[in-house]
Amino acid sequence: NAGVTQTPKFQVLKTGQSMTLQCAQDMNHEYMSWYRQDPGMGLRLIHYSVGAGITDQGEVPNGYNVSRSTTEDFPLRLLSAAPSQTSVYFCASANTGELFFGEGSRLTVL
Amino acid sequence: AQSVTQLGSHVSVSEGALVLLRCNYSSSVPPYLFWYVQYPNQGLQLLLKYTSAATLVKGINGFEAEFKKSETSFHLTKPSAHMSDAAEYFCAVSDAGGTSYGKLTFGQGTILTVHP
């Protein structure tokens, strides 16, 4: 029972590089979202999706892109990484009563 | 706009003592409220949730929380702390229509330390 799977778990980038954080869920949830976690700031919503083909911005969307071509997948793209994007990223999917989280992707931008 | 304030970034208790983690929220619409727990190097796990039914909510691992509208609070308690309770705890709020959209607003987190 995989739940929400994120890859990679760790990544180091140089400023200006691009990359994609992958997220897949096998619970057939319509709703998926990306959060970033920084010390003392809790989790902040980056982007979310209410179904395939539908995405919207959260609290801190700048520097990130998303797409939702299938129900299962919700990748997060960093087009030009900046040191301020050093963080732990969590993907989550939701049913009507609970948010299920992946184990996180730790990103360091040098 | 919604917001959550967790009072105390660090709480330390002795094993067997009462655990009290404080959460106050602000919401212009009836809220749904959640407590999540995060163990080191893991994702977040739901402890309990309030979705406008009973105001006293019981969760996993002996935790419970009480929704008090007049105080805009949703404090988390456990009568007797166990060493395995050491973790970071997050309070979160969404509007009643927002839960299923994954649009939760989280507090800053409280790290619970349990001493032998």
Condensed to tens digits (0 to 9), the pLDDT of residues A20-36 reads 999 999 999 999 999 99
Confidence band for B98, pLDDT divided at 50, 70 and 90 = low
Tell me the HSE value of A84 on the side-chain side, using a 13 A CA sphere: 6
Does the pLDDT of residue B97 top 70, yes or no?
no
Confidence band for B29, pLDDT divided at 50, 70 and 90 = confident
Rg (Cα) of chain A, in Å, rounded? 13
Confidence band for A44, pLDDT divided at 50, 70 and 90 = very high
B105 contacts on A by Cβ (under 8 Å): 45, 59
Confidence band for B101, pLDDT divided at 50, 70 and 90 = low
**Separation in Å, CA A19 to CA A33, A104, A107, B50:** 18, 16, 10, 38
B 9-38 near A (Cβ less than 8 A): 9, 34, 36
- Lookup: tokens for A95: 């049913």
Does the pLDDT of residue B32 top 60, yes or no?
yes
Cβ contact (<8 Å) for A98 and B104?
A: no
